Structure 1
Amino acid sequence: MSDAPVTHIDPAAFRADPYPVLARMRAEAPVTFVPELGATLFTRRDDIFTQEKRIEVFSSLQPDGLMTRLMGENMMRKDGADHQAERRALFPALSPRTVRDHWLAEFSAAAETILADLKPKGRCDLVRDYAMPVSAEALKAITGLRRMPAPEMDRVSQGMIDGCANYAGDPAIEAHCHDCTASIDAHIDMMLPEVTARPDHSALSVMRVAGLPMGSIRANIKLIISGGQNEPRDAIAGTIWALLRHPDQLARIHAGHATWAQAFDEYARWMSPIGMSPRRVARVDTTCGVTFQPEDRVFFMFSSAGRDEAHFDAPDRFDISRDTGPAISFGAGPHFCAGAAAARALIADVALPAFAHLPDLALDGPAPFAGWAFRGPLSVPVRWKA
């Protein structure tokens, strides 16, 4: 275990709202060991930006980590040449050009269909009824698992997320995660004959064409689902919620004085759908005044980096006019999110403008949030003029 100063947390309170505790950590112990998480947390933006790149010390390779045990060894749990080889194999499915020329039209068509069904109803739960199916339909196309129903895509994604954040070792959460990964494997098996006979732009197809072994393909499809469903879902619903809570900022977008991309970037900085990234210490090292031992667990807290007072004035305030350039919402090092272009297109180019133009759109009740490793609204009730 590292010799970092110790900070205790209340896990339930941390899940409900981690930001007050993270602010105290940044001020008092920016690198701190949290016994309740069994990890040393980096909380300042510049430390995370620098240390995440030191893969020889803070390794992504975690053979005994939760993600590897539950989902298989995907490219996010590899470093160096092994990571780059799998990233290159996947790139044709997620490149900015592929997103622009192929996926964007599919994203728009799916969102329009979902919205057309919702419009006459005049109210909905933004998370369940819009953000979830919009994200799921996009993910079905990108992964190649087109026969998986949208609610099942959401279920298996959440099940894996819960499993990978199950540091308390709850056996029921682990069992549910295994059920979810089995469902994904079954849908991969279902689609393999189709993408083999007719290769396409999907992740399943391009990794197959690149010759990756099936174990890697399965693990990487699970990785894409674990990040590609809940994070866009939560960012779509959360950004609209934030704009409705700040109508002056929504008005600036409608007037052409700000963009949907600015709103998304600010929300991702402020509420951080991806709250942290874990690492395993590979060798003895001293940094930031703390000595780490091999096999120590480290969490790079992206959520804390987004509210670092050294880079953001009044960081707890949602303000789409601020410069979000220093934010590292998608990561900072070699593991920068491979799906960033697809996420930006889905959220800022399609989902936000389509829904937020509904007439007289307004919040229709409280919107509870939860999570610290992954964070988002549990529900966002809204209404509009049907």
Structure 2
Amino acid sequence: MAIDFTDPAFIQDPYPGLAALREQGAVTWHEPTGQFLAAGHAAADAVLRDRRLGRFWQDREPAEVYEPFNLLHRNQMMENEPPVHTRLRSLVAKAFARGHVERLREPIAAAAGKLVREAGPRFDLLADVAGPLAVTVIAELLGVPQADRPRLRPWSAAIVRMYEVSRTPETERAALDACREFAAYLRDLAARRAEEPRDDLISHLVAVRELAPDELVASAILLLNAGHEASVNALGGGMVALLRHPAQLSRLREDPSLIPTAAEEMIRYDSPLHMFVRTAAADVEIAGVRVPAGHRIAALLGAANRDPAVFAEPDTFDVSRDPNPHLGFGAGLHFCLGAPLARIELQAGLRALLPLRLELAAEPVNRPTFVLRGYEAIPVVIGTSE
């Protein structure tokens, strides 16, 4: 029986189903979605790295209905291959280089600490800490004014629902509205930065004049969406994993030097991004399976990150796991540009939360989504510092 990506029980805990799929074969055909699925680690890695597989944007139809969404995607780096991808990525790469983001480590740590201190004894880990931290970091980098930042996450949350198998007419309408509003906002902000430049990425992109207006807007929205959506879910899902494994939580509190490996394990154990689809430009063989030209194949990152051929006891949450060659940030040409920043942010959130006696106040509420996995709410109670 084919796996159902819209089944609420599967979305609640996809890993048993993904393990069963992986046991059927590293690459299998999935009739309901009309694509191949790469569930093994080696196969998923090959899908991400093979240059005969690419991201080739096709406008959603009818075009007049979906144009706000199509406009943002046909003009962004993630939906293009070289030379367009190379040009777009090179224009923003410096802002995310390791040396530059390292200078943000202390401000990010300060922001995380402030959010935790202000959260009070009972709070929602997503709404009060993970969400605001992620938005603050990426908005600061791009130069979004403080007063406008509360609008970013609702826009982003609406748009990314379009990537799901389970989207509805209501979620599509909300996404298209968000695309229009977000794009209009970014055009206005870019115009303001053209008149009064500041030391931020939007001003830089306006100044280089190598981006068409639609490319600038699409690039900024991609960075704002990708720059906080995965970070929110990584910290949220990672903290839920920690709270459900008290021995690992105690171990991490006793030895904070494990925070970097714990952060990587959070991304591996409950991957924020579960599916990355590519299209064959020519016939390709992945794990012994022929993928004909024009066919799609999805790298199932969550399945790959639980592959027993690569990870010892893959269903065990281990904050000291090393090495940890997870695919949470992708691989190859489209490897996550913001990975160094995301790591700093995740570690900062951990350092701010670890000293507190934190417990789940109620069962976390899952988002009804698979491609971008996460929670809608994580109610917690914290005590005094230990």
Alpha-carbon distance in 2 for matches of 1:368, 1:11: 16
> How far did residue 272 of structure 1 move?
0.3
SS of corresponding position for 1:361: strand
Equivalent residue in structure 1 for 2:79, among 73, 77, 80: 77
> How far did residue 10 of structure 1 move?
5.9
Structure 1: state its 5+ residue gaps.
1-5
Closer, same or farther: CA 181–384 of 1 in aligned 2, 3 Å: same
Structure 2: state its 5+ residue gaps.
61-65
Alpha-carbon distance in 2 for matches of 1:293, 1:68: 28
> How far did residue 175 of structure 1 move?
1.3
> How far did residue 100 of structure 1 move?
1.6
1:1-386 matches, cutoff 5 A: 7-9=2-4, 11-12=6-7, 13-56=9-52, 58-64=53-59, 69=70, 71-73=72-74, 74-101=76-103, 103-118=104-119, 121-147=120-146, 149-165=148-164, 167=165, 170-210=168-208, 211-256=210-255, 258-348=257-347, 350-358=348-356, 360-370=357-367, 371-385=369-383
Alpha-carbon distance in 1 for matches of 2:167, 2:349: 36
Alpha-carbon distance in 2 for matches of 1:182, 1:162: 15
Closer, same or farther: CA 147–336 of 1 in aligned 2, 3 Å: same
Q: Deviations over 1:273-294 (max 9, x none)?
A: 0112111222233443333233
> How far did residue 51 of structure 1 move?
3.0
Letter of the aligned partner of 1:152 in structure 2? Answer: R
Alpha-carbon distance in 2 for matches of 1:28, 1:195: 54
Query: What TM-score, normalized by structure 2, do the two folds share?
Result: 0.89
Closer, same or farther: CA 87–123 of 1 in aligned 2, 3 Å: same
SS of corresponding position for 1:124: strand
Letter of the aligned partner of 2:108 in structure 1? Answer: F
Closer, same or farther: CA 161–41 of 1 in aligned 2, 3 Å: same
Closer, same or farther: CA 220–84 of 1 in aligned 2, 3 Å: same
SS of corresponding position for 2:207: helix
> How far did residue 318 of structure 1 move?
0.7
> How far did residue 19 of structure 1 move?
1.3
Q: Pick which of 284-293 and 154-163 moved more.
A: 284-293
Closer, same or farther: CA 88–10 of 1 in aligned 2, 3 Å: closer
Closer, same or farther: CA 36–335 of 1 in aligned 2, 3 Å: same
> How far did residue 164 of structure 1 move?
1.8
Q: Deviations over 1:2-24 (max 9, x none)?
A: xxxx8343621332222112111
Letter of the aligned partner of 2:236 in structure 1? Answer: A
Closer, same or farther: CA 312–162 of 1 in aligned 2, 3 Å: same
Q: Pick which of 201-210 and 180-189 moved more.
A: 201-210
Length, aligned pairs only: 374
Alpha-carbon distance in 2 for matches of 1:208, 1:325: 39
* Residue identity (%): 26
Closer, same or farther: CA 201–261 of 1 in aligned 2, 3 Å: farther
Alpha-carbon distance in 1 for matches of 2:287, 2:377: 39
List 4+ stretches of structure 1 deviating above 6 A. 65-68
Closer, same or farther: CA 353–84 of 1 in aligned 2, 3 Å: same
> How far did residue 383 of structure 1 move?
0.9
Alpha-carbon distance in 1 for matches of 2:127, 2:276: 26
Determine if contact 2:35/2:298 at 8 Å carries over to the other structure. Answer: yes
> How far did residue 258 of structure 1 move?
4.0
Letter of the aligned partner of 1:49 in structure 2? Answer: D
Residue number in structure 2 paired with 1:3: none
Q: Deviations over 1:107-146 (max 9, x none)?
A: 234334323321xx31111111211111111121123222
